């Protein structure tokens, strides 16, 4: 009742709209079936009156219910006997059971579909969103959305659907009560509205608490991920307790919020039972004692009223629980809007050949939020060249290769491949030709083979054995793979914990070679390696000369010795571009000074 007379009457409707956006028209079918169940059940309850009259052998009173059944029996030419009535009752309640099953099946179908749709939609949107979206998002926040919040949304749907079932029952029962005894229904409506106002404040508190619980869930998830991903450092330096204290504080806060939420919910549910019985007693007293109505004529409307009131309590309880979960779907809806706003713009064109001649950068600038990071860069990368990139930390080297790979879009200037503007090319198509190996390469918790082929032999795909072995040889991986107990089927652990830095690097290179990418980017790939491992990686890179176009970013300038040309960057611009030996000979060049500092011997 309080829902019907809620000033925010449209709140449940707005939630129905949000949910039906994900589950489609089935939700409306569910509401329709719920109404049908209520109507069939009410007809069933109404049979009590004619049954009482038939049983007591009295005259049929003039009444909408008795008239209804009387007319049905006359219409079908059936005798009005107790036996026939009992058969009718069986048919009515049998129909109700079938409808109840159908309603339950529909709810299960919808909730599983919702779970699938939410997870799929969000994951897909994370793939389509521009890279800059992830700048200030942490993993905890993102995983919380996909797992916890989508699950909470499904739980919310179950509660919303129960609220709707109760609401449809309330509407049908009250309509039946109204048809039988209008005074009783009006009394319920008046008393129900008063109660609604008393509970309004509690509902708004629960809604706010629910959103706070969502936020707190995200914070905990993130802290735990941070804790686990840095466990080696934290253990080595004896700092586990520091972060655990923080996690414990947040867990306590989360528990406090949840407890408050649950207590409010429990209070509403339990107090409503009591209120219902008080209303029932008051209305019966008014109708029978004060108004002097016959008990046989008010018995059915009173049954409807009692059932209606208990359904109001159920509805209130379910709605309350729904509100405590409503933060889930709200958070997801907000996330989807944010993701849609950051959707990566992609050109339509898919070229048939990639990098036949060169990639050209013309006057490229990049200034996120007004801060100039890359200024007026002009550069040509010719197919088959190996280009080295040097420069102080923060000079913009990584940002430049991110622009070249199309990961970030420059603020101004043009970038073309074989004369075709990047903005007209489909981004995902373009990126399949880029390889990327960093200091901390992407290693998946799976076998060596799956790390190289990216699960190339799962499902319908089968991986190319020759290409796999060629990639392994070219990346200098043979020795280390052969030394593993299970060879290619060796599990590498979380982020490759069982591998050394150099082995991870080689594995990452082998993957890029297996993918047969055209342009390979090494971003500080050898920075954390010892001299021996660095030499090996360097040899792997050298083997690619002429076979692939290669961009090597390196702080260790010895890595750049064999490059066709070397670019030196400073504060977002290119200050030098020449061969390594020319720059090295020029005592005025920045590279010369950098080399001197690193003491590199020829």
Ligand X SMILES: Nc1ncnc2c1ncn2[C@@H]1O[C@H](COP(=O)(O)OP(=O)(O)OP(=O)(O)O)[C@@H](O)[C@H]1O
Nearest to 438 by CA among 380, 499, 386, 507: 507
- Smallest gap from Cβ 408 to ligand X, in A, equals 7
Q: Of residues 7, 79, 232, 371, which one binds ligand X by CB under 6 A?
A: 371
- Smallest gap from Cβ 508 to Mg ion, in A, equals 16
Q: Is 107 in the site for ligand X (CB under 6 A)?
A: no
User: Using CB distances below 5 to 8 A depending on partner kind, what does residue 76 bind out of Mg ion, ligand X, none?
Assistant: none
Q: Which is nearer to Mg ion, 284 or 398 (CB)?
A: 398
Q: Of residues 20, 117, 398, 484, which one binds ligand X by CB under 6 A?
A: 398
Q: What is the DSSP letter of 286?
A: I
| In 405-477, alpha helices (H) | 427-431, 448-453, 465-474
Q: Which two tokens stand for residue 208?
A: 């706010």
Q: Of residues 330, 397, 427, 515, which one binds ligand X by CB under 6 A?
A: 397
User: Using CB distances below 5 to 8 A depending on partner kind, what does residue 493 bind out of Mg ion, ligand X, none?
Assistant: none
DSSP string for residues in 200-240: HHHHHHHHHHHHHHHHHHHHHHHHHHHHHHTHHHHHHTT-H
Q: Is 134 in the site for ligand X (CB under 6 A)?
A: no
The helix/strand count (H/E) of the chain reads as 20, 10
Q: Which is nearer to ligand X, 376 or 398 (CB)?
A: 398
Given a contact cutoff of 8 angstroms between Cβ atoms, the answer to whether 122 and 146 are in contact is: yes
User: Using CB distances below 5 to 8 A depending on partner kind, what does residue 373 bind out of ligand X, Mg ion, none?
Assistant: ligand X
Q: Which stretch binds ligand X (CB under 6 A): 53-61, 152-160, 388-396, 492-500?
A: 388-396
**Where does residue 458 rank: exposed (0-12), middle (13-18), buried (19+ CB within 10 A)?**
exposed
Q: Which is nearer to Mg ion, 110 or 553 (CB)?
A: 553
Q: Which residues of this protein are in contact with Mg ion, per CB under 5 A? A: 398
- Smallest gap from Cβ 371 to ligand X, in A, equals 6
- Smallest gap from Cβ 523 to ligand X, in A, equals 7
Q: Which stretch binds ligand X (CB under 6 A): 226-234, 318-326, 391-399, 543-551?
A: 391-399
Q: Which is nearer to ligand X, 213 or 401 (CB)?
A: 401
Q: Which is nearer to ligand X, 329 or 553 (CB)?
A: 553
Q: What is the DSSP letter of 131?
A: G
Q: Which is nearer to ligand X, 396 or 501 (CB)?
A: 396
Q: Which is nearer to Mg ion, 41 or 402 (CB)?
A: 402
CA dihedral (399, 404, 405, 411) positive or negative: positive
Q: Of residues 301, 391, 410, 435, which one binds ligand X by CB under 6 A?
A: 391
- Smallest gap from Cβ 399 to ligand X, in A, equals 3
Q: Of residues 177, 187, 373, 563, which one binds ligand X by CB under 6 A?
A: 373
Rg for the chain, CA atoms, rounded: 36
What order do you get walking across the sheet with 549-553 strand by strand? Answer: 434-438, 519-523, 549-553, 386-391, 565-570, 573-578
Q: Is 136 in the site for ligand X (CB under 6 A)?
A: no
Q: Which stretch binds ligand X (CB under 6 A): 122-130, 201-209, 366-374, 480-488?
A: 366-374
Q: Strand (E) positions, 418-524? A: 420-421, 434-438, 519-523
Q: What is the DSSP letter of 56?
A: T
Q: What is the DSSP letter of 445?
A: S
Q: Which two tokens stand for residue 560?
A: 């750049």
Q: Which two tokens stand for residue 45?
A: 């309850």
Distance CA 311, CA 37 (A): 14
Distance CA 448, CA 504 (A): 10
- Smallest gap from Cβ 391 to Mg ion, in A, equals 9
Longest Cα separation, the chain: 121
Q: Is 532 in the site for ligand X (CB under 6 A)?
A: no
- Smallest gap from Cβ 386 to ligand X, in A, equals 19
- Give residue number: closest CB to Mg ion: 398
Residues in the chain: 602
How many residues bind ligand X (CB under 6 A)? The answer is: 13
| Residues at the site binding ligand X, with contacts judged by CB under 6 A | 132, 135, 368, 371, 373, 391, 393-399
């Amino acid at each position: 009742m309080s829902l019907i007379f809620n000033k925010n009457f449209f709140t449940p409707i707005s939630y129905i709209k949000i949910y039906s956006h994900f589950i489609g028209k089935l939700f409306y079918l569910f509401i329709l079936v719920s109404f049908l169940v209520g109507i069939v059940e009410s007809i069933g309850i109404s049979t009590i009156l004619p049954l009482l009259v038939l049983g007591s052998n009295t005259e049929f009173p003039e009444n909408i219910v008795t008239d209804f059944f009387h007319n049905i029996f006359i219409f079908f030419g059936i005798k009005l006997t107790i036996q026939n009535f009992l058969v009718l009752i069986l048919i009515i309640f049998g129909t109700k059971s079938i409808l109840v099953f159908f309603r339950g099946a529909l709810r299960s179908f919808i909730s599983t579909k919702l779970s699938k749709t939410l997870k799929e939609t969000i994951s897909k949107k994370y793939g389509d969103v521009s890279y800059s979206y992830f700048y200030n998002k942490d993993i905890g926040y993102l995983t919380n959305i996909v797992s916890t919040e989508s699950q909470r949304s499904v739980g919310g749907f179950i509660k919303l659907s129960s609220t709707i079932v109760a609401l449809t029952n309330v509407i049908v029962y009250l309509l039946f009560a109204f048809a039988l005894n209008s005074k009783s229904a009006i009394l319920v409506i008046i008393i129900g509205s008063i109660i609604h106002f008393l509970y309004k404040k509690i509902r708004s508190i629960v809604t706010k608490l629910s959103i706070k619980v969502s936020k707190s869930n995200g914070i905990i998830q993130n802290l735990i991920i941070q804790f686990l991903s840095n466990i080696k450092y934290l253990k080595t330096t004896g700092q586990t307790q520091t972060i655990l204290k923080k996690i414990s504080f947040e867990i306590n806060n989360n528990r406090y919020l949840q407890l408050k939420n649950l207590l409010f919910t429990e209070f509403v549910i339990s107090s409503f039972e009591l209120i219902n019985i008080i209303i029932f007693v008051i209305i019966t007293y008014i109708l029978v004692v004060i108004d002097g109505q016959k008990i046989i004529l008010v018995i059915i409307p009173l049954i409807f009223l009692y059932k209606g009131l208990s359904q109001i309590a159920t509805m209130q309880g379910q709605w309350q629980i729904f509100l405590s979960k409503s933060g889930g779907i709200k958070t997801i809806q907000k996330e989807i809007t944010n993701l849609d706003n950051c959707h990566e713009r992609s050109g339509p064109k898919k070229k048939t050949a990639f990098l036949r001649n060169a990639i050209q950068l013309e006057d490229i600038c990049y200034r996120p939020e007004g801060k100039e990071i890359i200024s007026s860069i002009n550069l040509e990368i010719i197919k088959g060249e190996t280009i080295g990139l040097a420069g102080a930390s923060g000079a913009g080297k990584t940002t430049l290769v991110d622009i070249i790979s199309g990961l970030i879009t420059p603020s101004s200037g043009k970038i073309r491949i074989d004369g075709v503007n990047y903005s007209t090319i489909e981004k995902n198509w373009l990126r399949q030709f880029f390889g990327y190996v960093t200091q901390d390469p992407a290693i998946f918790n799976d076998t060596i083979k799956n790390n190289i082929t990216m699960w190339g032999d799962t499902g319908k795909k089968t991986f190319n054995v020759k290409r796999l072995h060629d990639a392994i040889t070219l990346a200098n991986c043979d020795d280390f793979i052969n030394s593993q107990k299970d060879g290619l089927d060796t599990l590498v652990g979380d982020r490759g914990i069982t591998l050394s830095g150099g082995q991870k690097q080689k594995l990452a290179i082998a993957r890029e070679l297996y993918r047969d990418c055209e342009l390979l980017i090494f971003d500080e790939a050898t920075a954390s390696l010892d001299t021996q491992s660095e030499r090996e990686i360097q040899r792997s890179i050298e083997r690619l000369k002429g076979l692939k176009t290669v961009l090597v970013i390196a702080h260790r300038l010895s890595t750049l010795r064999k490059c066709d040309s070397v670019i030196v960057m400073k504060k977002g611009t290119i200050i030098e571009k020449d061969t390594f030996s020319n720059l090295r000979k020029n005592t005025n060049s920045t590279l010369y000074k950098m080399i001197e500092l690193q003491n590199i011997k020829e």
